[in-house]
Structure 1
Amino acid sequence: MAFDPFADETVRPQAQARNHVVGQDLSTLSIEEIDERIAALRQEITRLEQMRAQKQASKSAADAVFKA
């Protein structure tokens, strides 16, 4: 059995989100494909928000140390 670096579904990029380009023509997509992209993009937004919160917490902690 080969090692799969994307075995954890929380880290695996969604194929639809990877291929989605902001502003691209969506007229050829089915309703299901659009729904899949919406779900994948929402997951990515959540992931980005979590990372932003972590970085903000680190920055705030560093700022507190240097202001003390």
Structure 2
Amino acid sequence: MIVRVDSNFCTGHGRCVGFAPELFELGDEGFLDIEDQVVPDELLASVRDAVQNCPERAISLIDE
């Protein structure tokens, strides 16, 4: 699975960082700024929680 962030929708709530700090990090301006990343199997449940809890629906999981 690949995690994708649409930076046009991210408003910097940071909930994703709480669920999966290993993959998500807010940039200097307080928004997610990451490229598509392969999600390791051991983080998949945490990333799914982050996707489901993003109030702006800026994060998605894509089946490779």
TM-score (norm 1): 0.29
TM-score (norm 2): 0.30
Question: Which of the pair has more CA radius of gyration?
Answer: 1
- Larger strand percent: 2
Higher relative contact order (CA 8 A, sep 6+): 2
